[in-house]
Structure 1
Protein backbone atom coordinates (compact mmCIF):
# COMPACT_ATOMS: atom_id res chain seq x y z
CA UNK A 1 0.00 0.00 0.00
CA UNK A 2 1.11 3.52 -0.70
CA UNK A 3 1.03 5.27 2.68
CA UNK A 4 2.60 4.83 6.10
CA UNK A 5 -0.54 4.57 8.19
CA UNK A 6 -1.56 1.34 9.87
CA UNK A 7 -3.19 -1.10 7.47
CA UNK A 8 -6.81 -2.04 8.19
CA UNK A 9 -8.32 -5.50 7.70
CA UNK A 10 -11.92 -6.56 8.24
CA UNK A 11 -12.39 -10.29 8.82
CA UNK A 12 -15.92 -11.64 8.97
CA UNK A 13 -16.52 -14.71 11.08
CA UNK A 14 -13.40 -14.00 13.10
CA UNK A 15 -14.34 -14.84 16.69
CA UNK A 16 -13.10 -18.44 16.46
CA UNK A 17 -11.39 -21.00 14.24
CA UNK A 18 -9.67 -19.97 11.04
CA UNK A 19 -10.99 -16.41 11.24
CA UNK A 20 -9.54 -15.87 14.71
CA UNK A 21 -6.20 -17.34 13.61
CA UNK A 22 -6.19 -14.83 10.76
CA UNK A 23 -7.02 -11.98 13.12
CA UNK A 24 -4.12 -12.91 15.42
CA UNK A 25 -1.59 -13.15 12.59
CA UNK A 26 -2.65 -9.87 10.99
CA UNK A 27 -2.50 -8.15 14.40
CA UNK A 28 1.00 -9.55 14.94
CA UNK A 29 1.99 -8.06 11.59
CA UNK A 30 0.89 -4.54 12.43
CA UNK A 31 -2.65 -4.44 11.09
CA UNK A 32 -5.59 -2.77 12.75
CA UNK A 33 -8.02 -5.69 12.83
CA UNK A 34 -11.79 -5.34 12.71
CA UNK A 35 -13.31 -8.53 14.02
CA UNK A 36 -16.87 -9.49 13.15
CA UNK A 37 -19.36 -12.12 14.14
CA UNK A 38 -22.92 -12.64 15.21
CA UNK A 39 -21.79 -12.73 18.82
CA UNK A 40 -18.81 -11.11 20.51
CA UNK A 41 -16.01 -13.21 21.99
CA UNK A 42 -14.51 -10.90 24.66
CA UNK A 43 -11.55 -13.20 25.33
CA UNK A 44 -10.68 -13.34 21.64
CA UNK A 45 -10.98 -9.56 21.30
CA UNK A 46 -8.74 -9.00 24.32
CA UNK A 47 -6.10 -11.23 22.77
CA UNK A 48 -6.18 -9.29 19.51
CA UNK A 49 -6.07 -5.91 21.28
CA UNK A 50 -3.02 -7.06 23.24
CA UNK A 51 -1.27 -7.32 19.87
CA UNK A 52 -2.96 -4.39 18.12
CA UNK A 53 -4.61 -2.00 20.64
CA UNK A 54 -6.63 -0.08 18.03
CA UNK A 55 -8.41 -3.23 16.89
CA UNK A 56 -12.09 -3.63 17.67
CA UNK A 57 -15.18 -5.80 17.19
CA UNK A 58 -18.26 -4.98 15.12
CA UNK A 59 -21.25 -7.20 15.73
CA UNK A 60 -23.41 -8.09 12.75
CA UNK A 61 -24.96 -10.93 10.83
CA UNK A 62 -23.49 -10.25 7.40
CA UNK A 63 -25.76 -12.83 5.77
CA UNK A 64 -28.37 -10.06 6.01
CA UNK A 65 -27.77 -7.28 3.50
CA UNK A 66 -28.90 -4.51 5.81
CA UNK A 67 -26.57 -5.65 8.59
CA UNK A 68 -23.64 -5.88 6.18
CA UNK A 69 -24.35 -2.30 5.11
CA UNK A 70 -24.45 -1.15 8.74
CA UNK A 71 -21.09 -2.81 9.33
CA UNK A 72 -19.50 -0.76 6.57
CA UNK A 73 -21.31 2.37 7.69
CA UNK A 74 -19.54 1.95 11.03
CA UNK A 75 -16.20 1.80 9.23
CA UNK A 76 -17.01 4.96 7.30
CA UNK A 77 -18.08 6.75 10.49
CA UNK A 78 -14.70 5.95 12.02
CA UNK A 79 -13.06 7.43 8.89
CA UNK A 80 -10.99 4.31 8.32
CA UNK A 81 -9.52 3.28 4.98
CA UNK A 82 -10.17 -0.41 4.42
CA UNK A 83 -7.16 -2.13 2.89
CA UNK A 84 -8.16 -5.77 3.18
CA UNK A 85 -11.48 -7.61 3.40
CA UNK A 86 -11.53 -11.31 4.26
CA UNK A 87 -14.94 -12.94 3.89
CA UNK A 88 -14.65 -15.89 6.23
CA UNK A 89 -18.17 -16.39 7.63
CA UNK A 90 -19.27 -19.95 7.13
CA UNK A 91 -21.54 -22.75 8.31
CA UNK A 92 -22.23 -26.29 7.17
CA UNK A 93 -25.48 -28.26 7.05
CA UNK A 94 -24.31 -31.67 5.90
CA UNK A 95 -26.96 -33.89 4.36
CA UNK A 96 -27.58 -35.97 1.28
CA UNK A 97 -29.36 -34.01 -1.43
CA UNK A 98 -32.53 -36.07 -1.13
CA UNK A 99 -32.73 -35.16 2.56
CA UNK A 100 -31.57 -31.57 2.37
CA UNK A 101 -34.31 -29.08 3.14
CA UNK A 102 -34.74 -25.78 1.35
CA UNK A 103 -34.35 -24.02 4.68
CA UNK A 104 -30.96 -25.67 5.27
CA UNK A 105 -29.84 -24.79 1.76
CA UNK A 106 -30.86 -21.16 2.23
CA UNK A 107 -29.01 -20.93 5.55
CA UNK A 108 -25.75 -22.18 4.01
CA UNK A 109 -25.98 -20.03 0.88
CA UNK A 110 -26.91 -16.94 2.90
CA UNK A 111 -24.04 -17.32 5.36
CA UNK A 112 -21.31 -18.61 3.07
CA UNK A 113 -22.01 -16.98 -0.29
CA UNK A 114 -24.44 -14.08 -0.09
CA UNK A 115 -22.64 -12.55 2.90
CA UNK A 116 -19.44 -12.46 0.83
CA UNK A 117 -21.26 -10.77 -2.04
CA UNK A 118 -22.75 -8.12 0.27
CA UNK A 119 -19.45 -7.39 2.01
CA UNK A 120 -17.31 -7.44 -1.13
CA UNK A 121 -19.62 -4.98 -2.85
CA UNK A 122 -19.39 -2.60 0.10
CA UNK A 123 -15.62 -3.01 0.38
CA UNK A 124 -15.14 -2.39 -3.34
CA UNK A 125 -16.93 0.95 -3.01
CA UNK A 126 -14.46 1.99 -0.31
CA UNK A 127 -11.41 0.67 -2.15
CA UNK A 128 -12.30 2.18 -5.52
CA UNK A 129 -11.84 5.68 -4.10
CA UNK A 130 -8.21 4.91 -3.28
CA UNK A 131 -7.63 2.61 -6.26
CA UNK A 132 -6.10 -0.14 -4.14
CA UNK A 133 -7.15 -3.00 -1.91
CA UNK A 134 -7.32 -6.75 -1.49
CA UNK A 135 -10.38 -8.97 -1.06
CA UNK A 136 -10.17 -12.61 -0.01
CA UNK A 137 -12.86 -15.27 0.15
CA UNK A 138 -12.47 -18.37 2.30
CA UNK A 139 -13.69 -21.11 -0.01
CA UNK A 140 -12.82 -24.81 0.34
CA UNK A 141 -11.36 -27.68 -1.64
CA UNK A 142 -14.88 -29.15 -1.74
CA UNK A 143 -15.80 -26.13 -3.85
CA UNK A 144 -13.42 -27.59 -6.42
CA UNK A 145 -14.23 -31.28 -6.05
CA UNK A 146 -17.63 -31.62 -4.41
CA UNK A 147 -18.21 -34.10 -1.60
CA UNK A 148 -20.98 -36.54 -0.80
CA UNK A 149 -23.31 -35.23 1.90
CA UNK A 150 -22.10 -31.66 1.44
CA UNK A 151 -24.05 -30.43 -1.57
CA UNK A 152 -25.10 -27.14 0.03
CA UNK A 153 -21.65 -26.44 1.48
CA UNK A 154 -19.83 -27.37 -1.74
CA UNK A 155 -22.21 -25.27 -3.85
CA UNK A 156 -21.66 -22.24 -1.62
CA UNK A 157 -17.89 -22.64 -1.71
CA UNK A 158 -17.86 -23.14 -5.48
CA UNK A 159 -19.95 -19.99 -5.74
CA UNK A 160 -17.27 -18.08 -3.85
CA UNK A 161 -14.69 -19.13 -6.42
CA UNK A 162 -16.88 -17.89 -9.25
CA UNK A 163 -17.53 -14.67 -7.38
CA UNK A 164 -13.81 -14.14 -6.76
CA UNK A 165 -12.88 -14.64 -10.40
CA UNK A 166 -15.67 -12.40 -11.68
CA UNK A 167 -14.94 -9.62 -9.21
CA UNK A 168 -11.22 -9.89 -9.91
CA UNK A 169 -11.89 -9.16 -13.58
CA UNK A 170 -14.13 -6.22 -12.72
CA UNK A 171 -11.69 -4.58 -10.29
CA UNK A 172 -8.23 -5.42 -11.66
CA UNK A 173 -7.86 -2.17 -13.62
CA UNK A 174 -8.40 -0.25 -10.39
CA UNK A 175 -5.59 -2.10 -8.59
CA UNK A 176 -7.98 -4.07 -6.39
CA UNK A 177 -7.12 -7.75 -6.19
CA UNK A 178 -9.57 -10.55 -5.43
CA UNK A 179 -8.52 -14.10 -4.58
CA UNK A 180 -9.86 -17.18 -2.82
CA UNK A 181 -8.41 -19.55 -0.25
CA UNK A 182 -9.35 -23.23 -0.48
CA UNK A 183 -8.56 -24.95 2.81
CA UNK A 184 -8.84 -28.71 3.09
CA UNK A 185 -9.09 -30.70 6.31
CA UNK A 186 -8.24 -28.07 8.94
CA UNK A 187 -8.27 -28.79 12.67
CA UNK A 188 -11.11 -26.57 13.89
CA UNK A 189 -14.25 -26.96 15.97
CA UNK A 190 -16.18 -27.67 12.76
CA UNK A 191 -14.05 -30.73 11.91
CA UNK A 192 -13.23 -32.15 15.34
CA UNK A 193 -16.57 -33.92 15.57
CA UNK A 194 -15.91 -35.88 12.37
CA UNK A 195 -14.32 -39.31 12.76
CA UNK A 196 -11.00 -39.90 11.03
CA UNK A 197 -12.60 -42.72 9.05
CA UNK A 198 -14.83 -40.16 7.32
CA UNK A 199 -12.01 -37.75 6.60
CA UNK A 200 -10.71 -37.58 3.00
CA UNK A 201 -7.26 -38.88 2.16
CA UNK A 202 -4.54 -36.29 2.71
CA UNK A 203 -1.11 -37.10 1.21
CA UNK A 204 0.61 -35.18 4.02
CA UNK A 205 -1.23 -37.46 6.47
CA UNK A 206 -2.31 -34.79 8.93
CA UNK A 207 -4.90 -32.05 9.25
CA UNK A 208 -3.84 -28.48 8.62
CA UNK A 209 -3.69 -25.86 11.34
CA UNK A 210 -5.75 -22.66 11.25
CA UNK A 211 -2.48 -20.75 11.46
CA UNK A 212 -1.37 -22.28 8.14
CA UNK A 213 -4.48 -20.90 6.45
CA UNK A 214 -3.81 -17.55 8.11
CA UNK A 215 -0.29 -17.43 6.65
CA UNK A 216 -1.73 -17.90 3.16
CA UNK A 217 -4.24 -15.12 3.80
CA UNK A 218 -1.51 -12.77 4.97
CA UNK A 219 0.48 -13.43 1.81
CA UNK A 220 -2.45 -12.87 -0.56
CA UNK A 221 -3.57 -9.76 1.32
CA UNK A 222 -0.25 -7.95 1.22
CA UNK A 223 2.16 -6.37 -1.22
CA UNK A 224 4.19 -9.56 -1.75
CA UNK A 225 1.32 -10.85 -3.91
CA UNK A 226 0.77 -7.56 -5.75
CA UNK A 227 0.53 -9.25 -9.18
CA UNK A 228 -1.80 -12.06 -8.14
CA UNK A 229 -5.55 -11.81 -8.68
CA UNK A 230 -8.40 -14.13 -9.61
CA UNK A 231 -6.62 -17.15 -8.15
CA UNK A 232 -7.57 -19.99 -5.80
CA UNK A 233 -4.85 -21.05 -3.36
CA UNK A 234 -5.28 -24.50 -1.85
CA UNK A 235 -4.10 -25.08 1.73
CA UNK A 236 -4.92 -28.76 1.80
CA UNK A 237 -1.84 -30.95 2.22
CA UNK A 238 -2.12 -32.22 -1.35
CA UNK A 239 -5.77 -33.34 -1.22
CA UNK A 240 -6.39 -31.99 -4.72
CA UNK A 241 -3.67 -32.18 -7.37
Structure 2
Protein backbone atom coordinates (compact mmCIF):
# COMPACT_ATOMS: atom_id res chain seq x y z
CA UNK A 1 0.00 0.00 0.00
CA UNK A 2 1.31 3.42 -0.87
CA UNK A 3 1.10 6.14 1.73
CA UNK A 4 -2.05 8.24 1.59
CA UNK A 5 -1.56 11.39 -0.44
CA UNK A 6 -1.60 14.69 1.42
CA UNK A 7 -4.76 16.55 0.65
CA UNK A 8 -3.02 19.73 -0.51
CA UNK A 9 -0.45 19.08 -3.20
CA UNK A 10 2.05 21.42 -4.82
CA UNK A 11 0.70 22.03 -8.34
CA UNK A 12 2.36 24.07 -11.10
CA UNK A 13 0.37 25.22 -14.14
CA UNK A 14 2.20 27.12 -16.88
CA UNK A 15 0.35 29.80 -18.82
CA UNK A 16 -2.15 30.06 -15.99
CA UNK A 17 -3.42 33.58 -16.55
CA UNK A 18 -6.12 32.93 -19.16
CA UNK A 19 -8.07 30.35 -21.10
CA UNK A 20 -7.45 26.66 -20.47
CA UNK A 21 -4.51 27.25 -18.12
CA UNK A 22 -6.50 29.54 -15.87
CA UNK A 23 -9.42 27.08 -15.70
CA UNK A 24 -7.00 24.29 -14.78
CA UNK A 25 -5.41 26.38 -12.03
CA UNK A 26 -8.85 27.32 -10.66
CA UNK A 27 -9.95 23.67 -10.66
CA UNK A 28 -6.94 22.63 -8.56
CA UNK A 29 -7.47 25.60 -6.23
CA UNK A 30 -11.10 24.50 -5.76
CA UNK A 31 -9.80 21.10 -4.60
CA UNK A 32 -7.67 22.78 -1.95
CA UNK A 33 -4.32 22.25 -3.65
CA UNK A 34 -1.42 24.70 -3.38
CA UNK A 35 -1.28 26.10 -6.90
CA UNK A 36 1.42 28.13 -8.60
CA UNK A 37 0.98 29.52 -12.10
CA UNK A 38 3.58 30.88 -14.45
CA UNK A 39 2.70 33.88 -16.56
CA UNK A 40 4.80 36.19 -18.67
CA UNK A 41 2.93 39.33 -17.57
CA UNK A 42 1.06 38.39 -14.42
CA UNK A 43 -2.65 38.02 -13.80
CA UNK A 44 -3.01 34.53 -12.36
CA UNK A 45 -6.22 33.53 -10.53
CA UNK A 46 -6.89 34.59 -6.93
CA UNK A 47 -5.29 32.22 -4.47
CA UNK A 48 -2.53 31.07 -6.81
CA UNK A 49 1.14 31.94 -6.46
CA UNK A 50 1.79 34.07 -9.56
CA UNK A 51 5.31 33.43 -10.85
CA UNK A 52 6.83 35.35 -13.77
CA UNK A 53 8.44 32.94 -16.17
CA UNK A 54 9.25 32.76 -19.86
CA UNK A 55 9.61 29.03 -20.54
CA UNK A 56 12.04 29.73 -23.39
CA UNK A 57 14.61 30.95 -20.83
CA UNK A 58 16.23 28.09 -18.84
CA UNK A 59 17.33 30.47 -16.06
CA UNK A 60 13.77 31.77 -15.62
CA UNK A 61 12.47 28.18 -15.43
CA UNK A 62 15.01 27.35 -12.72
CA UNK A 63 14.15 30.53 -10.80
CA UNK A 64 10.42 29.77 -11.06
CA UNK A 65 10.88 26.30 -9.58
CA UNK A 66 12.98 27.72 -6.75
CA UNK A 67 10.19 30.20 -5.95
CA UNK A 68 7.47 27.53 -6.09
CA UNK A 69 9.44 25.05 -3.99
CA UNK A 70 10.15 27.68 -1.33
CA UNK A 71 6.44 28.51 -1.07
CA UNK A 72 4.71 25.16 -1.66
CA UNK A 73 7.35 22.42 -1.55
CA UNK A 74 8.43 20.21 -4.47
CA UNK A 75 6.07 20.21 -7.44
CA UNK A 76 3.93 17.06 -7.31
CA UNK A 77 1.69 17.88 -10.30
CA UNK A 78 3.04 19.67 -13.37
CA UNK A 79 0.62 20.88 -16.05
CA UNK A 80 2.64 22.10 -19.04
CA UNK A 81 0.13 24.32 -20.80
CA UNK A 82 2.01 27.44 -21.95
CA UNK A 83 1.89 27.71 -25.72
CA UNK A 84 1.88 30.12 -28.64
CA UNK A 85 0.78 30.06 -32.27
CA UNK A 86 2.32 31.71 -35.32
CA UNK A 87 0.03 30.44 -38.05
CA UNK A 88 0.93 30.77 -41.69
CA UNK A 89 1.22 28.54 -44.74
CA UNK A 90 4.33 26.40 -45.05
CA UNK A 91 5.86 28.36 -47.93
CA UNK A 92 5.47 31.61 -45.97
CA UNK A 93 6.62 30.20 -42.63
CA UNK A 94 9.82 31.93 -41.55
CA UNK A 95 12.61 30.35 -39.53
CA UNK A 96 11.41 32.38 -36.55
CA UNK A 97 7.76 31.35 -37.04
CA UNK A 98 8.97 27.76 -36.77
CA UNK A 99 11.63 28.01 -34.08
CA UNK A 100 9.73 30.28 -31.67
CA UNK A 101 6.69 27.97 -31.60
CA UNK A 102 8.84 24.83 -31.15
CA UNK A 103 10.94 26.57 -28.50
CA UNK A 104 7.92 27.63 -26.43
CA UNK A 105 5.55 24.70 -26.88
CA UNK A 106 7.92 21.73 -27.10
CA UNK A 107 11.32 22.72 -25.70
CA UNK A 108 9.68 24.75 -22.92
CA UNK A 109 7.68 21.68 -21.91
CA UNK A 110 10.88 19.59 -21.92
CA UNK A 111 12.55 22.07 -19.54
CA UNK A 112 9.56 22.07 -17.21
CA UNK A 113 9.29 18.28 -17.10
CA UNK A 114 13.01 17.77 -16.61
CA UNK A 115 13.11 20.16 -13.66
CA UNK A 116 9.89 18.79 -12.12
CA UNK A 117 11.18 15.23 -12.33
CA UNK A 118 14.04 16.00 -9.91
CA UNK A 119 11.65 16.64 -7.04
CA UNK A 120 9.26 13.89 -8.13
CA UNK A 121 12.04 11.29 -8.11
CA UNK A 122 12.88 12.22 -4.52
CA UNK A 123 9.19 12.01 -3.55
CA UNK A 124 8.78 8.74 -5.51
CA UNK A 125 5.55 10.08 -6.98
CA UNK A 126 4.38 12.70 -9.44
CA UNK A 127 2.01 13.58 -12.27
CA UNK A 128 3.18 15.26 -15.46
CA UNK A 129 0.39 16.41 -17.78
CA UNK A 130 1.05 17.99 -21.15
CA UNK A 131 -1.65 20.06 -22.86
CA UNK A 132 -1.46 19.18 -26.54
CA UNK A 133 -4.16 19.69 -29.19
CA UNK A 134 -6.29 17.70 -31.60
CA UNK A 135 -4.26 19.57 -34.25
CA UNK A 136 -1.16 17.65 -33.16
CA UNK A 137 -2.92 14.42 -34.16
CA UNK A 138 -5.07 15.52 -37.12
CA UNK A 139 -2.89 18.25 -38.58
CA UNK A 140 -4.13 21.65 -39.67
CA UNK A 141 -3.38 23.75 -42.72
CA UNK A 142 -1.41 26.84 -41.74
CA UNK A 143 -0.21 25.26 -38.50
CA UNK A 144 2.78 23.11 -39.48
CA UNK A 145 4.82 24.56 -36.60
CA UNK A 146 2.06 24.34 -33.98
CA UNK A 147 0.98 20.82 -35.00
CA UNK A 148 4.58 19.59 -34.92
CA UNK A 149 5.10 21.05 -31.45
CA UNK A 150 1.90 19.51 -30.12
CA UNK A 151 2.58 16.11 -31.70
CA UNK A 152 6.05 16.20 -30.16
CA UNK A 153 4.50 16.32 -26.69
CA UNK A 154 3.02 12.86 -27.27
CA UNK A 155 6.40 11.28 -27.95
CA UNK A 156 7.88 13.14 -25.00
CA UNK A 157 5.15 12.06 -22.60
CA UNK A 158 5.31 8.42 -23.65
CA UNK A 159 9.10 8.34 -23.29
CA UNK A 160 8.88 9.92 -19.83
CA UNK A 161 6.15 7.42 -18.91
CA UNK A 162 8.52 4.55 -19.75
CA UNK A 163 11.52 6.16 -18.09
CA UNK A 164 9.96 7.24 -14.80
CA UNK A 165 7.03 4.85 -14.36
CA UNK A 166 8.91 2.59 -11.97
CA UNK A 167 9.32 5.57 -9.65
CA UNK A 168 5.60 6.25 -9.31
CA UNK A 169 5.57 9.09 -11.84
CA UNK A 170 2.96 9.22 -14.61
CA UNK A 171 3.08 11.28 -17.81
CA UNK A 172 -0.01 11.90 -19.90
CA UNK A 173 -1.32 14.16 -22.64
CA UNK A 174 -4.65 15.97 -22.89
CA UNK A 175 -5.60 16.90 -26.45
CA UNK A 176 -8.35 19.54 -26.52
CA UNK A 177 -10.30 20.30 -29.65
CA UNK A 178 -12.04 23.64 -30.15
CA UNK A 179 -12.50 25.38 -26.82
CA UNK A 180 -14.30 28.59 -25.89
CA UNK A 181 -11.41 30.96 -25.24
CA UNK A 182 -10.30 34.47 -26.23
CA UNK A 183 -8.58 32.89 -29.24
CA UNK A 184 -11.77 31.33 -30.62
CA UNK A 185 -13.87 34.38 -29.75
CA UNK A 186 -11.98 36.25 -32.49
CA UNK A 187 -13.44 33.98 -35.19
CA UNK A 188 -16.38 35.09 -37.32
CA UNK A 189 -19.78 33.44 -36.86
CA UNK A 190 -19.35 31.71 -40.23
CA UNK A 191 -16.00 30.29 -39.14
CA UNK A 192 -17.48 29.11 -35.84
CA UNK A 193 -20.38 27.41 -37.61
CA UNK A 194 -18.02 25.65 -40.01
CA UNK A 195 -15.97 24.33 -37.09
CA UNK A 196 -19.03 23.14 -35.15
CA UNK A 197 -20.23 21.29 -38.25
CA UNK A 198 -17.12 19.07 -38.02
CA UNK A 199 -17.65 18.24 -34.34
CA UNK A 200 -20.05 15.35 -33.60
CA UNK A 201 -21.21 17.03 -30.38
CA UNK A 202 -21.91 20.20 -32.38
CA UNK A 203 -20.37 22.67 -29.94
CA UNK A 204 -17.12 23.94 -28.50
CA UNK A 205 -15.72 22.66 -25.22
CA UNK A 206 -15.74 24.85 -22.16
CA UNK A 207 -12.40 25.40 -20.46
CA UNK A 208 -13.86 23.68 -17.38
CA UNK A 209 -14.40 20.49 -19.39
CA UNK A 210 -10.70 20.39 -20.24
CA UNK A 211 -9.75 21.22 -16.65
CA UNK A 212 -11.85 18.37 -15.26
CA UNK A 213 -9.90 15.83 -17.33
CA UNK A 214 -6.61 17.31 -16.10
CA UNK A 215 -7.64 17.16 -12.43
CA UNK A 216 -8.79 13.57 -12.94
CA UNK A 217 -5.39 12.60 -14.40
CA UNK A 218 -3.79 14.07 -11.28
CA UNK A 219 -6.18 12.21 -8.95
CA UNK A 220 -5.70 8.90 -7.13
CA UNK A 221 -8.30 7.39 -9.46
CA UNK A 222 -5.95 7.81 -12.43
CA UNK A 223 -2.95 6.26 -10.73
CA UNK A 224 -2.69 3.47 -13.33
CA UNK A 225 -3.04 5.75 -16.37
CA UNK A 226 0.24 6.73 -18.00
CA UNK A 227 1.44 7.35 -21.55
CA UNK A 228 -2.16 8.10 -22.54
CA UNK A 229 -3.46 10.72 -24.94
CA UNK A 230 -6.94 11.79 -23.83
CA UNK A 231 -8.94 13.78 -26.37
CA UNK A 232 -11.38 16.43 -25.16
CA UNK A 233 -12.62 17.33 -28.60
CA UNK A 234 -16.29 16.44 -28.90
CA UNK A 235 -15.37 13.55 -31.22
CA UNK A 236 -13.53 15.70 -33.78
CA UNK A 237 -10.38 13.59 -33.89
CA UNK A 238 -11.98 10.20 -33.34
CA UNK A 239 -9.46 7.40 -33.64
CA UNK A 240 -6.45 9.77 -33.62
Asked if TM exceeds 0.5, the reply is yes
Residue 37 of structure 2 corresponds to 35
What residue in structure 2 maps to residue 52 of structure 1? none
Q: 1:3 to 1:228 in 2, by over 3 A?
A: closer
SS at match of 1:45: coil
Is residue 81 of structure 2 the alignment partner of residue 88 of structure 1?
yes
Give per-residue Cα distances to partners, 1:171-207, cap 9 Å, x unaligned.
1000000000000011111222232255361010000
Q: How many Å apart are 1:226 and its aligned residue?
A: 0.3
* Correspondence list, 1:92-111, <5 A: 92-111=85-104
Match of 1:71 among 53, 64, 69: 64
Establish whether residue 238 from structure 1 lines up as the match of residue 240 from structure 2: no
Quickly say closer, same or farther: Cα 1:198–1:148, change in 2 above 3 A: farther
Partner of 1:171: 164
Unaligned runs of 5+ in 2: none
1:4-23, aligned counterparts within 5 Å?
4=6, 6-23=8-25
Greater alpha carbon shift after TM alignment, 77-86 vs 176-185: 77-86
CA distance in 1, matches of 2:140, 2:219: 32
Say whether 1:196 aligns with 2:189: no
Local SS of the residue matching 1:134? strand
Q: Classify the secondary structure of the residue corresponding to 1:109.
A: helix
**101-110 or 9-18, which deviates more:** 101-110
4+ residue runs over 4 A deviation: none
Separation in 2, partners of 1:89, 1:125: 21
What RMSD over aligned residues (CA atoms) do the two structures have, in Å? Answer: 1.4
| Gap runs ≥5 in structure 1 | 50-54
- Report matched runs for 1:38-187 at 5 Å: 38-41=40-43, 44-46=44-46, 49=47, 55-78=48-71, 80-187=73-180
Give deviations 1:190-227, integer Å, cap 9, x for gaps.
22223225536101000000000000000001111000
* TM-score where L is the length of structure 2: 0.93
Cα contact 2:170–2:226 (8 A) shared by 1 = yes
1:2 aligns with 4
